[in-house]
Structure 1
Amino acid sequence: MFVAFLKRAPFLRLILSLSAGISVQLYMPFNPLIVFTAAGLLGVTLFVFQKLPFRFRFQYDWLRGIVLQLLIVCSGSLLVYQSDIRRSSSYFDTLLRPTDLLIATVGEPIQQKARSYKTVVNVRHIIRDNRSIRASGRLLVYLSKDSAAGTLQEGDRLLIPSQTTPVQHSGNPGAFDYRRYCSNQQIYRQAFLRSGGWRRLPGKEENPILQVIFQCRQYCLHTLQQYIGGREAGLAAALLIGYRYDLDREMVQDYTNTGIVHIIAISGMHLALIYGGLLWILCWWPKHRFSEGLKGCLIILLLWAFTLLTGGAASVLRATVMFTFITVGKFMLDRYTNIYNTLAASAFLLLCYEPRLLMDVGFQLSYLAVLSIVICYRHTYYLFQSSRRWLDKLWDMTALTLAAQVLTLPVCLYYFHQFPVFFLPANMLTVPLSTIVLYGEILLLIVGGVPVLANGTGYALQILMQWMNRVVSRIGHLPGALITDINMHPLGMICLYSCIAGLLIWWLHQWRQGLLVALTGLALWSISLMLSHINEQYQHKMVVYNIPGHTCVEVIQKHQVATAGDRDVMRSDSLYNRYLRPAHVLYGIKQQLNIDSGISGPAFAGLQILSLGQKRLVIVDSALPRIMPQKKFRTDYLLLSHNPQVDIRQLEQMFDVGCYIFDASSRLRNIQQWKSDCYMLTLRFFSVPDQGAYVVNF
């Protein structure tokens, strides 16, 4: 049965092998020469195999299949290597000289941060000695807040200096790895531009297709803002074209807490609604000789136009490729394909185009949700049937919502560490409302040139979205609405998937061994949790966090933590949730203690000395005492914070230091001077802003 299923869906085998090759190259990169050699040997093996007698080939055909799968694994690895922009001869960072200038175009809307504006630019040319050198690559840019930076738009051309730095990762335990996130989007460098340090050039992006897309997007945003307005206009833009830059933060948090953030993140659901609307409209098209082919071409054209308008998110690309295959089969080939094969084929094509999509959370959740619905929806729906139409529709929505959660749950727990308890009623209420809103927005864009109709439509949409937001907010603030701080390790996620797979096999195919698979997965998960708890019982760590402008040191012993440094880090919910809470979840922290500290005589007045088991940490955050000690004070770590006016040579006269630590509360120029002094004196040091949080076991 399983072999017959694979024959009907050959792309399933291909996508598994391709994904394995991509994963290996991303996490354990091999030299391309080794991969090329392996691929060549596999190709020679296939050639020799074809020359063998037919009887031998028939008997050992399984060997040919293994060689083919390994060849696809090698192809996946080579795709990752070949698609890396840093390998390109025109990549800007490999061509730059210190005196060069860059011409770049703004590729994303300007995002307002606490102390700057943020955007991503596409480098087009390098200016060197009045010459223009064509270049490529994406650059993360932060601009000082001023009136000029705030008016930048997509497509604007900028002249900027060539001084860039690698994209940084905070390195804080359990924190989101922003550097890996950027690398998956082929962004490896960043630049900080002060006021007056850059210039806007006349003209816009020269690509006519991008200009049309930008104009269409601006029309959508202007129409929604004009006739809907307020925070609802930002929600409307996110629902329609995936423009999330004007969303209210509290609103996003409410939708996240109720498990319906997929509604405001443009996804396959939105494209399915548009596809259904197109089918309904085109069903009135009179039939003639070429009508079906023209319908298919028009649907495909409109779907891809919408995809470009939304920016080509991974989930939208998946849905567009899938619906393209379905449309071609239905309208042009007059045949229906295997849904599993269509799903795998769309993933295969997208990964061939951009292999790093495999690591995109939206890409993973999108495919898992569709696969989960395909596997579980029909069987869940048949568990209960009613002759009453309204009850049948209600159960149909319930079955669809529950089916979508089956395969997405482990990934959601792994990435987001929380579970929305009331996701079912939230989806039941908001999905129909968001469907009405989406169709209403399309109608609003059509009648935007008729103010009377546009005002009425916009007012109705605003009232509907206000009511939807109130419902979501109330559900999200119910007692026990959100289970947080779920620490799901990769091994636990794999074990949970094995449990789900075993139960599904037992339920759908009546295979009793599926229960054994599920129980085995549950046992392994329990063992992994037990080992994790044992490890937490014996952990002794010191963490110097990477928090810009702040000092925070934590001493972790078993399930207890003691914190030293700036008090506002613990008092501020935003700082705690962003920097400390992920580490506390990762290490299983349950109790806060007072840290042991003390002052060792007048020679060390004003210095905080922390005991770390058999080790010591000295925190220097001000000028050193004038009284010199008679004997050097031995300390394993010395932390310089908040720009103390000290010299490394002076510290060497007072302390016998194992390692100097410079945290993110000091200015970069001071840290650079301390690093230079340590290099001169051959001293060990660790720079938290450059290298990430300092974590040590003691």
Structure 2
Amino acid sequence: MPATKTYWWTHAPFLRLLPLLMLGILCGWYLQLSITVIAVVGAGALLCTFSYPFLSKGLKYRMRFGAGGSLLLLIWAMGAWLVQKENIQNHSRWFGKSYKEGDGLIAALDEMPVSKPRSVKAIARITHIIQDGSMVQATGRMILYFDKEGNAENLVYGNRILLQKPLQAIQNSGNPGAFDYRRYCLFQGITHQVFLKKTEYRTLPGHDGKGLQRALIRSRETIISILQKHIHHPREQGLAEALLIGYKDDLDKGLVQAYSNTGVVHVIAISGLHLGLIYWLLVRIAGLLRRRGRVVRFLFIAGGLWAFTLLAGAQPSVVRSAVMFTCMTLGKLIGRQTSQLNTLAFSAAGLLCYNPFWLWDLGFQLSYTAVGGILIFYKPFYHLLYFPNKAVDWVWQLVAVTLTAQILTLPISLFHFHQFPVLFLITNLLAVPLSSGVLLLEMALCAFYWITPLASAIGWLTEGLIRFLNDYIVRLSALPFALWDGFSFSVLQVLLLYAAIGSAGYWWLAKNKIALRFALGFLVLFAGLRSYNLWEASRLNRLIVYHVPRHRAADFISGRQVFFNGDTALLQDGFERAFHLRPARILFRASAVQPVQGTAFRFAQKTIHFYDSAAHFPNAAPAVLVVSGKAKLPRQINGLQPAQLVLDATVPPYRVQQWRRLADSLRWPLHDVRTSGAFVMQW
């Protein structure tokens, strides 16, 4: 009897179920499927799955694909249901369903407040709504900004706040290609925000916080105080805190950009690299507990892993690694060697069942694709070369790990970051081992902080290594060829890249020539689609009036050339420029920026006039009239009829109302960038 043919995915069942769970999550969110539809599909799939064993042999043979298909459909329905379940707006007690202006709210601080330049920021959990003198239980989260003039800096986790001020819904900037901040907040259950002066809120007695969370916060504060005591320079302090426990509030923004430009930003983010070191250290220590038995060693290793995971804020990448390492440790306990790909897929499915919105988390995406690339490609890539010298072989192992980790993360990185760090290999060769050494030194510092001379010596060495690493990264980042910037890929192009990588990988590993043809075909489709997009961008003209708070900003885009008219502060490589202007320029594939000054422009057969308090109201009707600042309404219109009236982000609210009334009376089309997002005209 011939042996049954097995495939590589046979030993990884979760690798087959995971894509259907992810597809269900995506469909549940983007199609906004109702609970009724999901329940009907899920019930039908469940009925088919459980009735299959009771069918006759003939029916079983004819429906042999039905059982597997119904199981996959059930997994899909579960993914769609999870999204609807976790969406706070579908919760029966979500405060947004019943809240109206004038209602009081009782909220508990859900984290330690963070001091900002102009305010103190905290995320709060709504517990009650006060309506018509009665208190009703509610749920949901919002962002509180406290005025620094009060005692807001004395607030701590768990404090209860009473407030009665109109809330603002979380909104996006509306600029083309901009980060979807509203969705990002919604995935965390945050839907509203409010700024509170010291007279607009009151701290209530009592404490509404979890004991474990309070203990973790105190532990994090203790660790931060130890690091700040023995590491003196602020830049090195910030990196040390991020490396050990993922605390990023003290990180230098310029330093983070340098790490991102050189491809080692994963060193700053708590990831599988950090937990791998913790796992290695725990396994070494557990080797001393051999007489205690395998169960004690398992509990020691698993307990240490999850303690560090909670201390680091339970970020998705750390939780994923903790689940994977725990499964590996459990496999050794019961004496079974499981498929690493199956373990990886199992941990991903478990995390998505816990929080389906982690599917959109960039750290989640990058960590899984990086580990997946290593598990699939590392061994065959490493065996391409053999070095008898152990030191050289160790370097080659590090090179192989770095390169194979980039194979599956590259399309995601290009899609989200729009850049490719050319020097990622050189920087990783030093940054990975050096950051690992720094992490071990920080653990030693926290373990022996009570021995002052030893702690001072460890702190001095740790700070010196971090300073050396920072200087190395910053100098490489300053090189003109260190970064390829300005990539703009669509979702379809990313899928074509993954199809090409998958086909090429199958050709390499399985020696399948047909797969090579598919890989080449996908690459041709990718190149053709990208060429068409570049050609289309080169022939279009666009006017963009951006929504940049407290700033004037407008772009004239002709093909790939940008003419910028606005505040000179936005010409610098600062946060405002990177957050508000750069995404649109990348989206429209425009790179060369040239500043222009003036109030009246003739651009591609269109007349655009900028009107502010220092300019004169135009005599001739422009195609677009952009109003800025406190520009006064004209006394006489004289039949002027602009094709479009645009109010930029510098117009104060009272002027907005005046211009709106004027536009309504004269039937002028009006666009307010504060409420409607950026104004974009294309021709």
Q: TM-score by structure 2 length?
A: 0.93
Change (3 A) 1:411 1:590: closer
Residue of structure 2 in register with 1:643 after alignment:
630
Residue of structure 1 in register with 2:164 after alignment:
161
Report matched runs for 1:667-686 at 5 Å: 667-675=652-660, 678=663, 684-686=669-671
On the 8 A contact 2:506/2:512 being kept in 1, the answer is yes
Change (3 A) 1:595 1:245: closer
**SS of residue paired to 1:7:** coil
**SS of residue paired to 1:285:** helix
Report matched runs for 1:513-528 at 5 Å: 513-528=514-529
Q: Residue type matched to 2:417 in 1?
A: F
On the 8 A contact 1:138/1:186 being kept in 2, the answer is yes
Q: Name the CA distance, whole Å, in 2 between partners of 1:77 and 1:445.
A: 44
Change (3 A) 1:594 1:106: closer
Cα deviation code 1:403-427 (max 9, x no counterpart):
1111111111111111111111211
**SS of residue paired to 1:4:** coil
What is the Cα deviation at residue 17 of structure 1?
Answer: 0.2
What is the Cα deviation at residue 11 of structure 1?
Answer: 0.8
Report matched runs for 1:137-286 at 5 Å: 137-146=140-149, 148-202=151-205, 204-231=207-234, 232-286=236-290
Q: Residue type matched to 1:207 in 2?
A: K
Please state if 1:120 is matched with 2:123: yes
What is the Cα deviation at residue 13 of structure 1?
Answer: 1.6
On the 8 A contact 1:105/1:156 being kept in 2, the answer is yes
Residue of structure 2 in register with 1:619 after alignment:
610
On the 8 A contact 2:555/2:562 being kept in 1, the answer is yes
Residue of structure 2 in register with 1:467 after alignment:
468
Q: Name the CA distance, whole Å, in 2 between partners of 1:443 and 1:281.
A: 14
On the 8 A contact 2:286/2:300 being kept in 1, the answer is no
Change (3 A) 1:457 1:48: closer
Cα deviation code 1:282-339 (max 9, x no counterpart):
1111425xx21122123222222222211111101111111222222222x2212111
Change (3 A) 1:572 1:12: closer
Q: Name the CA distance, whole Å, in 1 between partners of 2:35 and 2:6.
A: 34
Please state if 1:502 is matched with 2:487: no
Residue of structure 2 in register with 1:316 after alignment:
318
Q: Name the CA distance, whole Å, in 2 between partners of 1:423 and 1:375.
A: 21
Q: Residue type matched to 1:71 in 2?
A: L
On the 8 A contact 1:156/1:203 being kept in 2, the answer is yes
On the 8 A contact 2:607/2:624 being kept in 1, the answer is yes
Q: Name the CA distance, whole Å, in 1 between partners of 2:533 and 2:114.
A: 40
Cα deviation code 1:437-476 (max 9, x no counterpart):
1111111111122222222221221122112222222222
What is the Cα deviation at residue 526 of structure 1?
Answer: 0.9
- The partner residue of 2:297 within 295, 298, 305 is 295
**SS of residue paired to 2:645:** strand
Residue of structure 2 in register with 1:696 after alignment:
681
What is the Cα deviation at residue 242 of structure 1?
Answer: 0.5
What is the Cα deviation at residue 220 of structure 1?
Answer: 0.7
Please state if 1:53 is matched with 2:56: yes
Q: Name the CA distance, whole Å, in 2 between partners of 1:228 and 1:571.
A: 32
Report matched runs for 1:293-692 at 5 Å: 293-331=295-333, 333-570=334-571, 574-592=575-593, 608-613=599-604, 615-622=606-613, 633-646=620-633, 654-675=639-660, 678=663, 684-692=669-677
What is the Cα deviation at residue 361 of structure 1?
Answer: 0.3
Q: Residue type matched to 2:633 in 1?
A: V
Change (3 A) 1:444 1:147: farther
On the 8 A contact 2:145/2:194 being kept in 1, the answer is yes
**SS of residue paired to 2:125:** strand
Q: Name the CA distance, whole Å, in 1 between partners of 2:636 and 2:297.
A: 78
Q: Residue type matched to 1:639 in 2?
A: V
Q: Residue type matched to 1:425 in 2?
A: I
Q: Name the CA distance, whole Å, in 1 between partners of 2:113 and 2:394.
A: 43
Change (3 A) 1:676 1:7: farther
Q: Name the CA distance, whole Å, in 1 between partners of 2:272 and 2:93.
A: 35
Q: Residue type matched to 1:662 in 2?
A: L
Q: Name the CA distance, whole Å, in 2 between partners of 1:558 and 1:653.
A: 36
What is the Cα deviation at residue 593 of structure 1?
Answer: 6.2
What is the Cα deviation at residue 395 of structure 1?
Answer: 1.0
Q: Name the CA distance, whole Å, in 2 between partners of 1:270 and 1:485.
A: 31
Question: Any gaps of 5 or more consecutive residues in structure 1?
Answer: 598-607
Cα deviation code 1:36-65 (max 9, x no counterpart):
333334345446655542123124311322
On the 8 A contact 1:491/1:528 being kept in 2, the answer is no
Q: Residue type matched to 1:116 in 2?
A: S
Change (3 A) 1:540 1:24: same
Cα deviation code 1:375-406 (max 9, x no counterpart):
11111211122221111111111111111111
Q: Residue type matched to 1:53 in 2?
A: S
Q: Residue type matched to 1:643 in 2?
A: K
Question: Any gaps of 5 or more consecutive residues in structure 2?
Answer: none
On the 8 A contact 2:144/2:196 being kept in 1, the answer is yes
What is the Cα deviation at residue 73 of structure 1?
Answer: 1.3
On the 8 A contact 1:596/1:610 being kept in 2, the answer is no
On the 8 A contact 1:205/1:211 being kept in 2, the answer is no
Aligned residues: 679
What is the Cα deviation at residue 355 of structure 1?
Answer: 0.5
Q: TM-score by structure 1 length?
A: 0.91
RMSD: 2.6
Change (3 A) 1:566 1:504: same
**SS of residue paired to 1:336:** coil
On the 8 A contact 2:486/2:591 being kept in 1, the answer is no
Change (3 A) 1:437 1:414: same
What is the Cα deviation at residue 126 of structure 1?
Answer: 2.9
**SS of residue paired to 2:143:** strand
Q: Percent identity?
A: 35
**SS of residue paired to 2:145:** strand
Q: Name the CA distance, whole Å, in 2 between partners of 1:622 and 1:433.
A: 56
Change (3 A) 1:461 1:295: same
Q: Name the CA distance, whole Å, in 2 between partners of 1:624 and 1:502.
A: 60
Q: Name the CA distance, whole Å, in 1 between partners of 2:624 and 2:480.
A: 45
On the 8 A contact 2:113/2:156 being kept in 1, the answer is yes
Change (3 A) 1:71 1:499: same
Change (3 A) 1:672 1:269: farther
Q: Residue type matched to 2:310 in 1?
A: L
Change (3 A) 1:526 1:556: same
On the 8 A contact 1:184/1:359 being kept in 2, the answer is no
Q: Name the CA distance, whole Å, in 1 between partners of 2:297 and 2:595.
A: 71
Cα deviation code 1:223-262 (max 9, x no counterpart):
1111223222221111111001111222212211211111
Residue of structure 2 in register with 1:82 after alignment:
85
What is the Cα deviation at residue 4 of structure 1?
Answer: 3.3
Q: Name the CA distance, whole Å, in 1 between partners of 2:360 and 2:55.
A: 41
**SS of residue paired to 1:119:** strand
Q: Name the CA distance, whole Å, in 1 between partners of 2:401 and 2:413.
A: 18
**SS of residue paired to 2:288:** coil
Q: Name the CA distance, whole Å, in 2 between partners of 1:352 and 1:152.
A: 34
Q: Name the CA distance, whole Å, in 2 between partners of 1:430 and 1:591.
A: 33
